[in-house]
Amino acid sequence: MFRKCLASLALGPVPSPLPLPRIAPIASQLIQSRAFHQVPRESRPPKILITGGLGQLGIECAKLLRTQYGSNNVILSDIIKPSQSVLENGPYIFADILDFKGLQKIVVDHRIDWLIHFSALLSAVGEQNVPLAVRVNIEGVHNVIELAKQYKLRIFVPSTIGAFGPDSPRNPTPNVTIQRPRTIYGVSKVHAELIGEYYYHKFGLDFRCLRFPGVISSDPPGGGTTDYAVAVFHEALRHGKYTCYLRPDTRLPMMYIEDCLRALLEFMRAPNEQLKRRVYNVTAMSFTPEELFAQLGKHVPNLHVTYKPDSRQLIADAWPQVFDDSDARRDWHWQHKYDLVNLVDFMIKDVQDNYINVQPEQQTLQI
């Protein structure tokens, strides 16, 4: 994963993956190998706090932001004990999003300017523990929104395709439409969107939110409905087979993690006057399990796939099939770089380099 997210700042088409030394610093690799797109910076680099930092997006987001603003200006936080490699990459602190006074102390002590709030229980996990999902996904959002208002922070809260429901138009799903999700994850995300917009209109809070599709990275699956598109790479490259919990024709919007984090960075840097709304759809592609497995099968010729749909199929059936992100492309010039072919090429390399072709002692250091 040392190569992953910083490539997203490069200009031009995405090339096929090339072998890279696993020990080389990611920033130096990419500055040497690709044109490095510098976006104009603020007069003083923002001090950034990332909550829920040990999830799928947090560690890679911190790496990306540190190349732009300096290692000491990006503080990763969570309630989980970090690995040694996390500690070596920059500041890490304990932060419980349900402890408001503790959050206040962090903001004051570290002079925080931006807050990127990743703490959440995902769709499938949230359905298994609704009370906990309410506390983390709703009470936690209340805390960080109020914190951002009190200290005049710029705050980013991600939303999701799961914020839509069976009454929403599915192909395409526009930026503004009926939502009414039927999972606690989706309900909590709609709540976050609305409370953030309310604080923007009522108090002038600089609230920013992107609705992400399924985000694909080499990190092992974390409990999301779209995680089949991650799990299949691990299983196919290790065992040559995979059992999919969705039907072969289940079309969902997706995005490679480098596109996802580049969208976040560009959105956070966008001047307020460019933003016609506070919540935007962003996406890169839409595909079905069958389409993904066919592309993967070109690299794993004897891949054997079986389909056993479970409760996650009901969730997926209520979600968008194709995401309309034309507002983001118009207002702040969002453009994705990775399509299905690029995605499969880079995922194979990422999973092999970081999980398959590593020594046992190295494996324990993977994030």
Q: Which two tokens stand for residue 250?
A: 């289940």
Its pTM stands at 0.86
pLDDT band at 41 (very low <50, low <70, confident <90, very high): very low
CB atoms closer than 10 angstroms to residue 57: 22
Residue 124 contacts residue 225 (beta carbons within 8 Å): yes
CA 32, 33, 38 angle in degrees (round to 5)?
A: 70
Residue 112 contacts residue 85 (beta carbons within 8 Å): no
CA 356 from centre of chain: 23
Clarify whether 185 is annotated catalytic: yes
H helix or E strand, kind and range, residue 101: helix 100-110
The closest of 302, 363, 362, 354 to 60, measured between CA atoms, is 354
Rounded CA-CA distance 167/179 in Å is 7
Mean pLDDT value of segment 2-23 = 41
DSSP label at residue 171: S
- Per domain, the residue ranges of the chain are 120-360
Backbone angles phi, psi at 15, to 5 degrees: -80, 170
Instruction: Give the right CATH number for 120-360 from 3.40.50.720, 3.30.360.10, 3.40.50.20, 3.20.20.70.
Output: 3.40.50.720
Residue 4 contacts residue 26 (beta carbons within 8 Å): yes
DSSP states of 46-84 as a string? PPEEEESTTSTTHHHHHHHHHHHH-GGGEEEEESSPPPH
pLDDT at 360: 57
pLDDT exceeds 90 at position 5: no
pLDDT band at 125 (very low <50, low <70, confident <90, very high): confident
Rounded CA-CA distance 280/270 in Å is 13
How much is the mean pLDDT over the chain?
Answer: 88
The backbone region for 7, taken as left when phi is positive above 0, alpha when psi lies in -120 to 50, beta otherwise, is: alpha
Mean pLDDT value of segment 92-114 = 98
Rounded CA-CA distance 276/355 in Å is 42
Q: How many residues does the chain have?
A: 367
Q: For residue range 233-286, what is the model confidence (pLDDT) as tens digits?
A: 999 999 999 999 999 999 999 999 999 999 999 999 999 999 999 999 999 999
Choose the catalytic residue: 92, 185, 200, 280.
185
At residue 286, the 3 state secondary structure works out as: strand
pLDDT at 251: 98
